[in-house]
Each structure stands twice: as C-alpha cells, then as structure tokens.
Structure 1
C-alpha cells in the first residue's frame, strides 16, 4: 500500500527536513499550477515518468517550463534505448502515484528501487524546489539539498544531469 501525504511528512520530520505545504484545488498540468505563481516561491517542477525497451524506469524532474528531448535523453540517463512514457499502472506500482501527482517525493514508495531518479541540473540551481506531496491537491516546498537528502534516505542516489533545455527569459 503506497504511503499517503501524512506518512511522507512524518518521514521528512524524522529526517529533520523542514517543508512548507500549500493546499489548493487539484492541479493536473503545468498550466494549472502556473496559476499559483506569486504565492509559492522557488523552482517549480515538471516530472516525466519514462521507460526504455528493457523496462528500466526513470523519473526526470525538471523545471516546469523546460523541454526534454525524448529522442536523445536516453544517452544522458543511461537508458538501454530511446525512452517512452511509462504506463500509469507502473507509475502506481513503483511510485504509488496517479498521473497528475507525479513528483520525486514518490520515491518514498519505491522500496524496490525500480526507478532511477534524475534531477535536472538547471532545476537544482534553485535554493528551494516545489513538488506535489503524493497528491495534486497540494504543493510542498523543500530545500534543494534536503530533496537530495530525502532521496538518499529512500535508497535512491539521484543523478543531477543536464537533461532539459530551459527557455531564456526575454
């Protein structure tokens, strides 16, 4: 049974990681979440749950407005082939998440370590990062270093790689 947000927050507390969480109506897309800008500072995330032809799974966490080239990202993340989106059933099985609620915080549910976590290097330049806490009805703000510490505590060694292109502000 996947952990719920209260269990996630208890785990973060055990690690001494301070977070701030804002509840809101369900957000299903980056466009939905952009309506919260101004209320929640920091880097906002977009997450891609991917798989290769050998059923290796990857979670790429990038900035919300970043672009990931799915035709070439496999060469950066160590995939056995080009990648495609993972099925919702595997997302639930491995990360305990529904589409629309995907975030690196789902690593708490990947006790079998089936998913390789990749954090985009540009995103990691933010001091604080925002992610869904296992539900798309809230956004949790966590320190960049604390996110890495959390992932390590779940048994995941995140790779910080330049997997996305971020549009330069005009």
Structure 2
C-alpha cells in the first residue's frame, strides 16, 4: 500500500448525504433512477492515475484515465476515457478525430461544462453537460472490459460499474454518444 488512505470496506449503496457534495449525490441519484448496481470505495484524494493502483486492486478493475481536452481554438471539447496504463499521444488521437493540436482544456471549462474540478475528471460529469458541449471519446480497450472504474465527480470515492451500463443506459439517458478510438499501447 502507498500512503493513500483506503477504507477497505466496499459498499453497494449510496453514502449518507452528510459531508458529501451535491454533485456526488447527483451521480447516485442517476444510478439509482436507472437501476444500475455499483460498488463504491471511499479513499483519500487521488489526483493522478498512479494514485489509483491500490483502488484498482480492491475494486478488481482497471481505473480509467479520464482526460479533458480541447482543440487549439477552445471551440471543441473532449472527454477521453482510456486504460490507465496507456500513454496518451495527442497527435495519434488528433488524427483520428480530425482535430489537430489537442491540448488539456483549461479548468474553467471543465467546471462550467462538467461541474468537476481537476483530479476528479469522470465520465459521470457528462450528466451535467446538458448542452452537449463535450464529446466523449472512448478507447476501444475500455469497451473490452466487463467493468470500468470512475469517480462520482469527486476524487475521494471510486465506483465500479458495468461497461454495458455506461453504453446502454447512462449515455442514452444523458443524451450523449461516444466515439470509439484506438490508442496504441
């Protein structure tokens, strides 16, 4: 174990509201309304994918790396889900989506469109993107796994969800689609 504090208890129910942010509770509301089971693990802040390795083991998943990106003009925004162990190459992705010169989007756009802050980037933030300003990009290897891991819009909790629940229930409900991309190892 690293210096990361992990409550090694796994939960399959929403947490008590006290001490939780409204945006996190909104994620549990969505999951419950769609009858989506989940496993929840509470822990210290995990600002990087490297900090998630112990969480991966406890949840028996590979936590996804989630990157919030934009084009050079800051007119197109993307949320990229990819396996945590892959390296991100902007040129490789840019060619696939016809958007050269990708970069990490400024935090103010992340907060405005997804209601999340750096270190808490999650596909669940798309539920706050009611104007569909953010395009979801998913590496094909994420879709090959039965489960994926994400934060409920805050990086002090991690969730284990079925990948098919994301593709078949969550995304249609929040009116988002995804573009599947192929990123090299």
TM value normalised by structure 1: 0.90
Structure-to-structure mapping, 1:63-82, within 5 angstroms? 63-79=83-99, 81-82=100-101
1:131 and 2:150 aligned: yes
Backbone CA RMSD of aligned residues: 1.5
1:5 and 2:10 aligned: no
Structure-to-structure mapping, 1:1-170, within 5 angstroms? 4-54=23-73, 55-79=75-99, 81-148=100-167, 149-162=169-182, 164-166=183-185
Deviation at 1:53, TM superposition (A): 2.7
Residues 137-157 of structure 1: per-residue CA shift (max 9 Å, x gap): 000111001111212211111
TM value normalised by structure 2: 0.83
Larger Rg: 2
Kept after mapping to 2: 8 A contact 1:48/1:85: yes
Q: Distance in 1 between matches of 2:32 and 2:180?
A: 24
| Structure 1 residues without counterparts, runs of 5 or longer | none
SS at match of 1:39: helix
Q: Which has the higher contact order (CA 8 A, sep 6+)?
A: 1
| Structure 2 residues without counterparts, runs of 5 or longer | 1-20
Kept after mapping to 2: 8 A contact 1:3/1:108: no
Change (3 A) 1:3 1:119: farther
Question: Which protein is richer in strand relative to its size?
Answer: 1
Give the count of matched residue pairs. Answer: 163
Deviation at 1:3, TM superposition (A): 5.5
Q: Distance in 2 between matches of 1:102 and 1:56?
A: 17
